[in-house]
Amino acid sequence: MTSPSLTIDTPAGPVRATAGPREADAVVFELGGAMRGSVHVTGTTHPRHWDQFTAVRACLGPVNAFKTTAPDEDLPRLARGRTGYHGSLILYRDDTDRPQISVNPLSSAADHPPSEKTEAVLTAVLRGCAEHVAQRADLPAILEASRQRDTPGLLRFLTWSASYHQAEAVRLEREARAALPARKAAEAAWRTAAQWLALSPHPVLLLMLADCPDSLTRKIRGLQWWAPYCVDAAAEERERAHRAQAEADSLREQQCRRPRGRRPALVGAALGGPTT
């Protein structure tokens, strides 16, 4: 059984973090020692896989900072300081099953960045609380409750994202098709201007043919790379649309399944090897 209390070593001294009773989708730690205040830890999606609830997110303050903002007076602060801080950290496993962290910007209640030392203290406390929750036996229940909480909003976003990227792909493909006749027209105009220049030299014709802004030469050069660029960009947009749609489909499928008691990938010891 994981102890409800832990001690985290920080540049400002040890911080004691005591976990309160588990809420449906979160654990709130009360801080003591070198820091006072609270840290809210909940489940979240893997940073690169929005349909996989295998990560934990620790937020400075007693509430989920992704849903609401804690009052300034409730933000954690150093024991000898009066400045409250907000921010969050995500603990997840990479493709080699190693624990990684992603830190969202940390700042004071007045939106000023913390000093290097303070940032190190805040990051250590957030990571310590996140790792503690990642090793709890009830993590699967926290992640499942977090999935139920966030799925409706994620589905709305992913549905919009798939539609947006699909529309961008169509637009870029249209741009690529239009670039070819535009380049041919510009090349024809360049040849005509060159013929006129040979017959009757004129400064305007020189500017049209010169390698300078707004000239035919620059226009042709731009159109030469614009079509291939649009083709490649359209393919990337279609891939983003496909991925968003696949993640949305995965979330809908998870909604239809009954929760299982299997432990997600993150739970294997955030700091150690695989569990047995």
Q: Provide the percentage of residues in the chain whose pLDDT is more than 70.
A: 83
Q: What is the DSSP string of 28-79?
A: EEEEEETEEEEEEEEEE-BTTBTT---EEEEEEBSS-TTT----GGGS-EET
pLDDT digit string, tens, across residues 250-265: 999 998 875 554 445 4
Q: Say what the pLDDT of residue 276 is.
A: 31
pTM beyond 0.85: the answer is no
pLDDT, tens digit, for every residue of 77-93? 999 889 999 999 999 99
Residues 97-125, mean pLDDT to the nearest whole number: 94
Q: How do residues 134-161 score in pLDDT, each as one tens digit?
A: 999 999 999 999 999 999 999 999 999 9
